[in-house]
């Protein structure tokens, strides 16, 4: 029974079926499966499989995003119960990601978020056109392991540098790894502004984050 | 000519695009622009900054938007009339990296690369006007557009399209263009001595900075291209039909705004849209869907009476190889055969979709585009070219190499009838072997080096250069003190 429910949770995610994910998350609770197990042995397994297949070029982005949504749907049932029981969820690490001030591009950053979630990271996607000050405030508040700064415009690249400088001024730079990305950015720009790394695509970004948090 | 949409389909696309403009609207993050649009009759949501534009506003704007306009060059023999029925080609835009001509290594692009690619574009007959081929990485970002403009002013006599990235930078470039035109008054008369281009942020959004720069163009009637940058299945619908509909709405918002602010400002109505490859999350420009999108957009532009500007010919391949050549040929050819007024990115001296400049690819693409231009010219049918009398004279016993009449006829018509590539190989095999059995990439490299060392242009007036330098220095000082 337990195995079959866990398998159904995994399948629901792989199929990108949010309704099924919610249905079996509820069944898991009814059958007294520990909610953490429902996540790690069910939902997360599914999303990991889809994420790995995407990295190998074997499934489409639309399937990856839908798998991510199905996982979140199942989690919405399981998380309140976990919080009540005051159990800690262990994630691979906490990543905050956003697009810098003056730039409202979202797609690249959202793909990176989805892939990171598929790999077990807790991702705080803070949106677009985020000012340097807001980044600093949010870093203070959420204490992520890694901060990802996206810029799709040559004109907004200097804002990536600005965030890093503001983090230094606030004395927070030592506590987190800062990575950058976006079409006009380069490894050389990353070195120049003293970021901890640059990635040229979403799969590479996940590799970079894993390297930086040492998983 | 290739016409992909039927009359009924054109109307269906138009109706759908109008519904998007009127029901969904376009976000314009610029209060002054929103006020102008609201005063004209558009419905503005002050909170979301979305503006819904009724069709009559568009029709008014289309009346004011030129069907054809001139692009002027330093040397007037290179002046062009966009919208005169020809397809004009530009080079590629904006590489951050360059494959070094000497070492073959991929390295960061420099201002010297920009000068060299601009000089090559001046030389290659397929390039009708010149785009900023390189975004140099060895120049401070605060004076980026200005240094790029100067490098281009110095390196070509053809019409130049300059880069507008920030409102301050663009205003400086306009000041430099005034010097280039021979003074403020001269510039007012011939502000089409430069042009520029803009993309939106899909779906259906424009930032404040882009609108600021567009308003600056409207003020001086500087021509610009407005091109939707949507990616099908990411920032726009997966269906190509839906892609066209959204792109039209995005472009039209700017046509309306521009013609309200500066009636008669020339707009090249365009598309940089393509599909996203769902396997990798990357933009796929060398895809057949890209060609289809251009074909449909071009027909819609002409339905609206606007010149079409298509970024067709972009290469996804990472090196100048077989994939690069077919991608470049396929979509530049489709856009040309569809009647695009400007085929931007046709002469594509870049690989990796806009990222890495390749000198070799530029020379190869010059041959590809030469062939496309020949195809576009078609077959000239006149009583003389039908050559019945000549065929009778040559008869059955002679041929066209041993009959004096035929030889004269061939000599007269040869250059009009036959196009000759610059570097593609058509020799006999023994001759090819004698010349070193070289691949086109090797020949392209040698030819490029030769052009760079021999092609000379009239140098930019020293006084002009000094005056432009002053503008750059002033900006440097201002940014340092702030």
DSSP B65: S
Residue B246 lies in a domain: yes
In this complex, is the C-beta atom of B205 within 8 Å of any C-beta atom belonging to chain A?
yes
Q: Are residues B406 and B269 in the same domain?
A: no
**pLDDT attached to residue A82:** 86
Residue among B251, B186, B181, B192 nearest B68 (CA): B192
Instruction: Answer yes or no: do B165 and A62 touch at CB < 8 A.
Output: no
Angle formed at CA B55 by CA B221 and CA B18, multiple of 5 degrees: 105
In angstroms, the CA A198 to CA A180 distance is: 5
What residues 350-369 of chain B have any CB closer than 8 A to a CB of chain A? 355
Find the CATH number of the domain harbouring B252: 3.20.20.480
B364/B396 same-domain check: no
Secondary structure of B156-167 in HEC code, one letter for each residue:
CCCCEECCCCCH
Q: ipTM value, please give it.
A: 0.83
Residue ranges covered by each domain of chain A: 2-84, 94-213
DSSP letter at B87?
Answer: -
Q: B103 and B205, same structural domain?
A: yes
Regarding whether B398 and B302 lie in a shared domain, the answer is: no
Domain identity same for B300 and B323: yes
Please tell me the distance from the alpha carbon of residue B410 to that of residue B396, in angstroms, as a whole number: 18
Q: Inter-chain contact A184–B96, Cβ cutoff 8 Å?
A: yes
- Between B32 and A88, the more confident residue is B32
pLDDT score for A107 = 86
Same structural domain, B209 and B355? yes
In a domain, B145, yes or no: yes
Residues 6+ apart with CB under 8 A from A96: A123, A124, A126, A138, A139, A142, A144, A146, A147, A148
Identify the pLDDT of residue A215: 63
Q: Which token pair is B88?
A: 């004009």
Domain span at residue B393 reads 383-417
SS3 A135: helix
How many Å apart are CA B107 and CA B200, to the nearest integer? 29
Distance CA B277, CA B476 (A): 42
DSSP string, B246-287: HHHHHHHHHHHHHHHHSTT--EEEEE--EEEETTTTEEE-SS
Q: Does B164 touch chain A (CB under 8 A)?
A: no
pLDDT given for residue B281 in this prediction: 87
Minimum Cα–Cα distance from A157: chain B residue: B141
User: Which tokens in the block code for residue A68?
Assistant: 């991510």
| Residues of chain B under the 70 pLDDT cut | 482
Give the span between the Cα atoms of B54 and B71, in whole angstroms. Answer: 31
Spatial neighbors of A133 by CB under 8 A, at least 6 apart, are A166
Residue among A61, A103, A188 whose CB faces B108 most closely: A188
Q: Are residues B73 and B103 in the same domain?
A: yes
Considering the domain architecture, whether residues B99 and B180 belong to the same structural domain is answered as: yes
- Residues B272 and B353 placed together within one structural domain of the fold: yes
> Could you tell me if B281 lies within 8 Å of chain A, comparing CB atoms?
yes
Asked whether the beta carbons of residue A60 and residue B278 sit closer than 8 angstroms, the reply is yes
How many structural domains are present in chain B?
A: 2
Give yes or no for a contact between B472 and B146, defined as CB atoms under 8 angstroms apart: yes
Question: Order of strands across the sheet with B106-108?
Answer: B106-108, B97-99, B356-358, B350-351
Q: How far is B192 from chain A (nearest CA, A)?
A: 25
How far is the C-alpha of A198 from the C-alpha of A183, rounded, in Å?
11
A→B interface, C-beta within 8 Å: 57-62, 102-105, 107-108, 111, 153-155, 157-158, 183-184, 186, 188, 201-202
**Does the distance separating the beta carbons of A105 and B144 come in below 8 Å?**
no
| B394 and B362, same domain (yes or no) | no
Give the pLDDT of residue B82. 98
Which of A154, A182, A203 to mutate to test binding with chain B, by most B CBs within 10 Å of its CB? A154
> What is residue B73's DSSP assignment?
-
The pair of structure tokens assigned to B153 is 């002013």
Predicted confidence (pLDDT) at residue A9 exceeds the cutoff of 80: yes
Residues A200/A189, Cβ–Cβ less than 8 Å: no
B15: part of which helix (H) or strand (E)?
helix B7-19
Give yes or no for residue A86 having a pLDDT over 80. no
The answer to whether the Cβ–Cβ distance between B205 and A104 falls below 8 Å is yes
Find chain B residues with C-beta within 8 A of A186's C-beta: 96-97, 108, 137
Structure tokens at B331: 């979509």
Q: How far apart are CA B352 and CA B284, in angstroms?
A: 10
E-strand ranges in B330-446 read 342-347, 350-351, 356-358
Peptide bond into B203 cis (omega under 30): yes
Instruction: Name the residue facing B135 among A107, A108, A154 (closest C-beta).
Output: A154
Dump pLDDT digits (tens) for A10-48: 999 999 999 999 999 999 999 999 999 999 999 999 999
Q: Do B233 and A157 touch (CB under 8 A)?
A: no
Residue B196's nearest CA partner among B93, B338, B300 is: B93
Distance (Å) from the C-alpha of residue A71 to the closest C-alpha of chain B? 20
Output B295 or A85, whichever has higher pLDDT: B295
The overall pTM is greater than 0.90: yes
Asked whether the CA dihedral B251, B256, B261, B263 is positive or negative, the reply is: positive
Q: Do A107 and B234 touch (CB under 8 A)?
A: yes
CATH architecture of the domain formed by A94-213? 3-Layer(aba) Sandwich (3.40)
Last residue of a domain, one of B347, B377, B407: B377
Interface test with B, best of A112, A116, A153 (most B CBs within 10 A): A153
At residue A55 the predicted structure's pLDDT band, cuts being 50, 70 and 90, is: confident
Angstrom CA distances, B167 to A101, A130, B47, B207, B212, stand at: 16, 20, 24, 12, 6
Residues in chain A with CB shorter than 8 Å from the CB of B282 are: 201
Q: Residue B84 gets which letter from DSSP?
A: S
SS3 state at B454 = helix
* Torsional class of B401: left (φ above 0), alpha (ψ -120 to 50), beta (otherwise): alpha
Chain A, chain B: beta-carbon pairs less than 8 Å apart: 51
Residue B447, CA distances (Å) to B78, B118, B123, B124, B450 in order: 23, 16, 12, 11, 5
B56 domain-assigned: no
Contact B206, B26 (CB under 8 A): yes
Please give the backbone phi and psi of residue B297, each rounded to the nearest 5 degrees, phi first.
-60, -40
Higher pLDDT, B430 or A120: B430
Concatenated DSSP letters for B122-147? HH-TT-SBB---B--SSS-GGGHHHH
Please give the CATH number for the structural domain made up of A2-84. 1.10.1240.10
- Distance set, CA B203 to CA A63, B206, B236, B462 (Å): 21, 9, 6, 46
Contact call for A61 and B278, based on CB within 8 A: yes
Instruction: Check whether residue B323 and residue B394 sit in a common domain.
Output: no
| B278 with A62: Cβ contact below 8 A | yes
Tell me the pLDDT tens digit for each residue of A150-173: 998 888 899 999 999 999 999 999
Give yes or no: residues B153 and B243 share one domain: yes
| Residues recorded for chain A | 215
Q: What is chain A's Cα-based Rg?
A: 18
Q: Which of B320, B355, B377 is the last residue of a domain?
A: B377
How much helix, strand and coil, in percent to the nearest 5, is found in chain A?
60, 10, 30
Q: Per-residue DSSP letters for A28-67? A: HHHTT--HHHIIIIIIHHHHHHHHHHHHTT-S-HHHHHHH
- Chain B residue at shortest CA distance from A53: B279
The SS3 of residue B336 is helix
Tokens of residue B230, six digits? 């949507």
**Cα dist. B357→A139, B160, B327, B448 in Å?**
38, 19, 16, 13
CB contact under 8 A, B281 and A202: yes
Hey, what are B400's tokens? 């066209």
């Amino acid at each position: 029974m337990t195995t079959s429910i866990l398998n159904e949770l995994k399948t629901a995610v792989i199929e990108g079926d949010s309704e099924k994910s919610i249905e079996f998350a509820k069944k898991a609770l009814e059958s007294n499966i520990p909610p953490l197990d429902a996540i790690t042995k069910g939902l997360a397994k599914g999303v990991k499989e889809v994420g790995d297949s995407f990295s190998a070029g074997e499934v489409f982005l639309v399937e990856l995003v839908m798998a991510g949504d199905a996982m979140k749907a199942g989690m919405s049932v399981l998380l309140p119960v976990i919080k009540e029981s005051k159990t800690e969820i262990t994630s691979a690490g906490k990543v905050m990601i956003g697009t810098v001030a003056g730039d409202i591009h979202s797609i690249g950053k959202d793909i990176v978020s989805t892939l990171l979630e598929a790999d077990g990271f807790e991702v705080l996607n803070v949106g677009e056109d985020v000012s340097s000050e807001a980044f600093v405030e949010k870093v203070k508040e959420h204490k992520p392991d890694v901060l990802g700064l996206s810029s799709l415009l040559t004109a907004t690249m200097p804002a990536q540098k600005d965030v890093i400088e503001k983090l230094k001024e606030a004395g927070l730079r030592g506590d987190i790894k800062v990575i950058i990305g976006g079409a006009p950015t380069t490894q050389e720009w990353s070195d120049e502004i003293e970021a901890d790394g640059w990635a040229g695509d979403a799969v590479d970004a996940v590799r970079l984050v894993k390297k930086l948090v040492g998983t | 000519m290739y016409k992909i949409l039927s009359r009924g389909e054109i109307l269906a696309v138009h109706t759908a695009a109008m519904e998007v403009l009127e029901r969904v609207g376009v976000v314009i993050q610029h209060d002054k622009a929103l006020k102008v649009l609201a005063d004209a009759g558009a419905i503005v949501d002050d909170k979301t900054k979305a503006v819904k534009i009724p069709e009559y506003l568009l029709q008014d704007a289309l009346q004011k938007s030129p069907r054809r306009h001139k692009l002027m060059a330093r040397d007037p023999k290179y002046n062009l009339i966009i919208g005169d029925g020809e397809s004009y080609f530009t080079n590629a835009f904006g590489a951050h990296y360059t494959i070094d001509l000497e070492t073959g290594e991929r390295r960061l692009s420099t201002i010297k690369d920009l000068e060299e690619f601009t000089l090559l574009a001046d030389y290659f007959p397929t390039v009708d006007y010149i785009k900023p081929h390189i975004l140099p990485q060895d120049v401070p970002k605060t004076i980026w557009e200005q240094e790029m403009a100067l490098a281009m002013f110095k390196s070509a006599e053809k019409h130049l399209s300059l880069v507008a990235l920030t409102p301050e930078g663009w205003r400086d470039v306009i000041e430099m263009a005034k010097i280039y035109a021979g003074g403020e008054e001269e510039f007012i008369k011939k502000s089409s001595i430069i042009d520029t281009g803009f993309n939106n942020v899909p779906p259906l959004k424009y930032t404040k900075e882009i609108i600021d720069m567009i308003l600056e163009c409207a003020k001086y009637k500087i021509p610009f291209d407005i091109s939707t940058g949507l990616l099908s299945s990411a920032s726009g619908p997966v269906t190509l039909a839906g892609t066209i509909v959204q792109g039209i709405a995005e472009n039209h918002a700017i046509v309306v705004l521009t013609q309200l602010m500066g009636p008669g400002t020339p707009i090249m109505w365009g598309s940089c849209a393509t599909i996203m490859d769902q396997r990798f999350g990357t933009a796929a420009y060398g895809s057949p869907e890209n060609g289809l999108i251009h074909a449909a957009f071009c027909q819609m532009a002409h339905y609206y009476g606007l010149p079409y500007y298509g970024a067709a010919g972009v290469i996804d391949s990472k090196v100048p190889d077989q994939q690069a050549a077919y991608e470049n040929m396929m979509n530049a050819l489709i856009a040309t055969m569809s009647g695009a007024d400007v085929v931007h990115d046709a002469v594509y001296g870049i690989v990796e979709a806009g990222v890495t400049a390749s000198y070799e690819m530029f020379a190869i693409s010059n041959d590809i585009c030469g062939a496309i231009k020949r195809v576009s010219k078609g077959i000239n049918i006149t009583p003389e070219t039908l050559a019945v009398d000549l065929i009778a004279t040559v008869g059955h016993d002679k041929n066209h190499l041993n009959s004096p009449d035929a030889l004269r006829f061939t000599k007269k018509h040869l250059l009009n009838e036959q196009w000759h590539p610059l570097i593609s190989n058509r020799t006999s095999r023994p001759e090819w072997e004698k010349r070193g059995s070289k691949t086109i990439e090797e020949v392209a490299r040698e030819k490029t080096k030769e052009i760079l060392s021999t092609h000379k242009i009239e140098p930019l007036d020293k006084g002009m250069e000094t005056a432009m330098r002053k503008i750059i220095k002033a900006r440097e000082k201002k940014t340092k003190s702030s």
